[in-house]
Amino acid sequence: MTRPRVLYLMYTGLLEQSGDQALNQHRLRDLRALEARTWVAAQELPANLAAEKTGSLRERIKSGGSASLLLFPRKAAWPGAMVKELVRLCAQHELELLIFVQAQSLLAVRALKSATGLPVLWDCRGSPSERDDIPCGPPGKVRNALLRWAHGPAIRLADHLICVSERHAEEMASRYGYARGRITVVPNGVDVGRFRPDAAARAAIRQRLGIAPEDFVAVYCGGMHAWQCFPESVDFANLVASLRARVHLLVLTPELELAQCHLGRAAPGLRHHVVSVAHEEVPRYLAAGDAGLLLRAPNACNIVASPMKFAEYLACGLPVVIGPQVGDYSELVRRRQLGVVVDPAARESWPAAARELVTLIGAGPEGASTRCREAAVSLLNSKVQGARFGEAIDKARRAQHREKSRSPSG
């Protein structure tokens, strides 16, 4: 594949802390590895566009090899001014591909494709049905209905589609009649050099938190949204603490006060620590753990998901306590014995799952921890997923070329 010149368009996801933000940074690293010339355009909340918030982002993207960053205020109405500027950009630099992320960019993508004729790759992150699970008032329901609808026109604009899991790909193919051969599955990868078992970091973090070397540490890393099942995670950790001595729950979250409120349900035998750390420090804290908690409700969002935390837990050698329908990962955990599958809604099954986890961890470092690390390196390594991303880019460019050759004007 020749070195592509790419416009990477997102509705949001560079300036707000979120899973999308981390994944977008992965994608930009993938493009850099492909030696792509990348122009990044993002529609962000006006409050986030202050110079002090955007300056470091511009430097980071520039140092990462992208030619430039264009930030526009987010608007629900027709993004005419933004489209005109991007059309000029495409002509000036002879861009060859448009990659977009969210269905919210539908109007802009349609106008750009019409004006430039660029092939379009949709890096789709989730299911349209997930909007059904978001509680909101009447304005929110209207907005969610429009976003569900927008997935149909968006997929028809795409010359190729990226999905984050096989279940996601199956849903999009069956729901919209999109050819499965035009979909590439690219799960959320992990930098296995940064996220890895680290004996020195493990000892240092445990000493800092007052955790003995032989103590059991379950790690929860994430936010406090209801679908992330933090209260259920605390209750499951209580069960583990009833089975063995000196169990700690280590919570890594930016929502410290809310986490502390939920920790009121912690049993007396469960020690807990709540910290908020920068993303670059997360690998060191994960290395201090023995298992990762990823209980998720089986809703439309999680059924097709590819949580980045799963890959990060595995890369650090942590067996995962995972919900029953989390993308492709729940079955992967069962098949490869990478942890235990726990249904947040079926509490009668928890005691057996807690015993299974304690037995799994008790097998020692040559058991589940080694299997987890090997699975991360072979399946979820960011280099492997970056190569898949490159294949999707190539397929999008070739798909449009075939369409042009079939057209009467071609």
Residue 373 pLDDT: 97
Residue 108 pLDDT: 94
Complete edge-to-edge strand list for the sheet that includes strand 120-123: 68-73, 37-44, 5-10, 97-100, 120-123, 160-163, 183-185
Domain-embedded: residue 254: yes
Domain-embedded: residue 373: yes
Residue 99 pLDDT: 97
Domain-embedded: residue 210: yes
Domain-embedded: residue 106: yes
Domain-embedded: residue 11: yes
Q: Do 352 and 236 share a structural domain?
A: yes
List the domain range (segments joined by +) for residue 367: 199-379
C-alpha neighbours within 13 Å on the C-beta side of residue 364: 1
Q: Alpha helix locations (H) across 6-105?
A: 19-33, 51-63, 80-93
Closest among 312, 291, 276, 280 to 196, alpha carbons compared:
312
Q: Do 252 and 218 share a structural domain?
A: yes
Number of domains in the chain: 2
Q: Do 261 and 325 share a structural domain?
A: yes
Spatial distance between the Cα atoms of 148 and 141, rounded to a whole number of angstroms? 10
Q: Do 208 and 155 share a structural domain?
A: no
Q: Do 264 and 158 share a structural domain?
A: no
- End-to-end C-alpha distance for the chain, whole angstroms: 22
Domain-embedded: residue 194: no
Q: Do 217 and 171 share a structural domain?
A: no
Q: Do 215 and 122 share a structural domain?
A: no
Q: Do 64 and 32 share a structural domain?
A: yes
Spatial distance between the Cα atoms of 41 and 360, rounded to a whole number of angstroms? 46
Task: Kindly compute the dihedral angle of the four CA atoms of residues 86, 92, 94, 96, in this order, to the nearest 10 degrees.
Answer: -10
Dig out the tokens for 375 from the structure: 């699975």
Q: Do 120 and 11 share a structural domain?
A: yes
Spatial distance between the Cα atoms of 40 and 30, rounded to a whole number of angstroms? 14
Domain-embedded: residue 167: yes
Q: Do 397 and 351 share a structural domain?
A: no
The CATH number given to whatever domain includes residue 350 is 3.40.50.2000
Residue 378 pLDDT: 96
Question: Pairing between strand 320-322 and 5-10?
Answer: unpaired
Spatial distance between the Cα atoms of 205 and 288, rounded to a whole number of angstroms? 6
Domain-embedded: residue 282: yes
172: left (phi > 0), else alpha (psi -120 to 50), else beta? alpha
In which residue ranges of the chain is pLDDT below 50?
410
161: left (phi > 0), else alpha (psi -120 to 50), else beta? beta
Q: Do 141 and 13 share a structural domain?
A: yes
Residue 300 pLDDT: 85
Q: Do 137 and 215 share a structural domain?
A: no
Residue 259 pLDDT: 96
Residue-wise pLDDT for 303-330, tens only, equals 999 999 999 999 999 999 999 999 999 9
